Each structure stands twice: as structure tokens, then as C-alpha cells.
Amino acid sequence: MTNYQSVTFIIPCRNNLKYLKQAVHSIEDNYNDYHQIVILDDASNDGTWEWIESLNKPYIKTYRNEGPDRVGHTVLYDIGISLAETPVITILHSDMIVTQNYVSNMLKNLTPLSVVSATRIEPPLHPPGPEKYVKDFGMEPETFDTDAFKKFVYETEYVMEGKTTQGIFAPWMMYKEDFRNMGGHDKLFAPMELEDSDIFNRFHLCDYRLIQSRDAFVYHMTCRGSRFKDGIEIEKEIPMPDGTIWYKPKDSKEYLELRQNKFKEWWRKWHTDVLHDDLMMPIVPNRYDTTFVVHNCYPQLLGALEPWCDRLYVDCNYQWYVDEEKKETMFDISDKIHSIGDEMKGDVQIMFDGSKLTNENFTSFIKNIPFIIQQTDSVGSFEWDAFQLHIFNLRTKDMVVPFFKNIF
């Protein structure tokens, strides 16, 4: 495990045994055993752990969350990376199939303080994008067309040899030490995919080079963990501008509820949506200390506004909201909401009439406050539509260290 070219594959999994088998076999079929595989099971009950235990191979390390609750791939990624014995690690989803030149084509772009992403080939379960290929070589292991897939990869590797773009998404590769220096993932978002977006933002803020290798490929069966189940039914067909059809998969109730909660946590931390350019390069505005002062506030507004600011001053009853939301959030919001007239704090204070807040100015203003302040770039008082801004200080918050650390 000391060879410079050795790489550790980190694979978390939960109740998707047949996809996991295919992922592990693709690594074993394409590489010698000087690569390491760390498989981490998240309280599966479908025989996954029993199969993992049966492997008993020197290059495979294993870990199990005994449950009964799952911890999510945030926590498992970090545990897996801590177990890695190689200087280079690569994050792989358990429903991904690696190709023969995946490692070599990723490594040729890897340097210290960089993160290299592969190029995904996916069946039409997600919308298309310029960072990937939408090609249906099978949506299940039983129907996977290995020969057609290998032919496509061989031909595309030749055309795209040496080409790169900027962006980041799974699967990615980097030096273990660089990951440790970032402090690992933020468990605030577990179990959810937002921890990926969070650490991508933090990589970007630390000026890591975010590179996509356009000739390193994986086939992605597409979210076959907790989100989409085996044999997923197609719910909706959406025509795309190029004439192809995007098949919208049916999300589970569990996933939708979790997603709503975790997005509120995201807004509390970043005060912006998850943003990136067309090639998946993160767009990260500055994070300021922000206060809302809302006259004519009403109960429904509390939940809409609270995640987007550091403190909130209102003229309505708010204790019921604090009591309910404390059950759902990892943030301490017990002293976040106050009555108008209390001593006011905040580097940036924004005053408005809640009765004049619309979907349009919520989207154009509230969701873009960091960009507006960054563009203004001066202290003073300003008006913007129905909002009065009082900027007293332009200091920014350090967002590099995770708010709620895992093991690093």
C-alpha cells in the first residue's frame, strides 16, 4: 500500500447490495490489488454487511454502522478516509462502475491542493449537463451492456485525451492530507447530499484547483442508495431542447422530507442557495453577519426568513416557532429571534415591511443578499426595492472550517 500510484477507493453503501457488488467487481476487474478498497456499510438490512464480511481480502477494509439509524455518507466518507493507507483517496458511490483508465487518467491531473473529478456517464434519470454524458447502457446491473459501454469509453477516451475543465462532483480524487487539512465534511447535513456541496464550497474558498478529467470515466447507475429504489418507476417525461427526453424519477417521501430540513440548515449556514456554473464550478459569495428587522410580520414569514439571517427582529409572537424548530436543527436558535425594540445587533441590518414581501422580491433580494452586499462594497445606508439596508461593517465570516465536525 506504499506505492505512489496506489489509491484508496472509499465506498459508503446502504441497502443496495447488487449495485455495490458491481462497483467492487469493476475495481477488481480493472486494477491490481495494490489499490485499496474501503467499504462502509450504513446499517443495511438487505444482506450487504454479510456479503462485505465474506470478501476477506487483504486490500479491502470494512466498517459498519450498526444502526439502527443511518448516519449518511458524510460520516462514512470521513471514517473511510481515516482508514485509508495510501496518500491518494478517491470517493466512489456504491452505484458507480469504474473503467480501466479511471485511476491513471485522474492521477495525471492530480497535484497537491487540487481535487480531480471524473466524467460521469449516466442513464436518463437526471437532467443532462455539459459535465457528463447521458447514455443508457442499463439502469440495473442485470441489464448493463458491458460491451457497448466499453466501446463508448474507448472511443471517447481517444477523443477527449488530456482534456480538462473546471468543476467538482463525485467521483473525485485528492490527497488524503489535503482532505484532512479541510477538517472533513460537515455533519450538519448528514444524511444528505448537501454535505458534498458544502465541502465543494470550502475547497473553492481555500483556492484548491477543481479539475474535471474529461477522459476518466465512471458509469453511474444514479442514486441507488436511499433515494431511488431498485426498479424505480418513471413518473414524468420532460422533453429537452435537444430533442431528448429527461425521465424524472419518483423521490421517496423520506427523501423529500429530509431534503426540506437539510436545505434549511444549508441556508442557515451559507445564506445562499447551492450555486455553481454550467460545469459545476461552485459560486460562493461572501458570508456577512446579517440582521432582518421585519414590521408587520406574521407566523408563516418566520419559517421563510429565519434561515437566511443571523438574527431576526419581529413584531409578532415567535416563541412557538423557536420551540418547534429547535427539534429539527443543529443550530442554537434560542437567541436568534427577538422583538422589535430590543437592543439591535448586526453588521448588516435590513429593514422591511413583511406585508410587502412577495415571492418575486424574496427570490431577487433575500436570496441574493450576500451578492448585493458584496457588489455594494461600502458601508452606509441604501434602499433596494422595499428594503432598507444599513451596512455598518463589511467583515466576512470564515466558512472554511466545518460548523459541526466529523472525525477530522
pLDDT band at 281 (very low <50, low <70, confident <90, very high): very high
Residue 112: is it exposed, middle or buried by C-beta count within 10 angstroms (0-12/13-18/19+)? exposed
265 contacts 188 by C-beta, under 8 angstroms: yes
Per residue in 354-369, pLDDT (tens digit) is: 999 999 999 999 999 9
**Alpha-carbon span 345 to 392, nearest angstrom:** 10
Q: Give, as one character, the DSSP assignment of residue 108.
A: T
Q: Which residue has the cell 462497483?
A: 23
Kindly calculate the radius of gyration of the chain based on its CA atoms and give it in whole angstroms.
23
Per residue in 191-225, pLDDT (tens digit) is: 877 899 999 999 999 999 999 999 999 999 876 55
Residue 252: is it exposed, middle or buried by C-beta count within 10 angstroms (0-12/13-18/19+)? middle
Measured in residues, the chain has a length of 408
**Beta-ladder partners of 268:** none
pLDDT score of 278 more than 80 = yes
Which residue did the predictor score with more confidence, 325 or 258? Answer: 325
- Percent of all residues in the chain with a pLDDT value above 70, rounded to a whole number: 90
pLDDT score of 240 more than 70 = no
| Domain 7-270: CATH superfamily, name plus number | Spore Coat Polysaccharide Biosynthesis Protein SpsA; Chain A (3.90.550.10)
Domain boundaries, the chain: 7-270, 290-391
pLDDT band at 248 (very low <50, low <70, confident <90, very high): low
Q: Give, as one character, the DSSP assignment of residue 326.
A: T
**Alpha-carbon span 399 to 408, nearest angstrom:** 16
Q: Give, as one character, the DSSP assignment of residue 371.
A: H
Per residue in 328-384, pLDDT (tens digit) is: 999 999 999 999 999 999 999 999 999 999 999 999 999 999 999 999 999 999 999
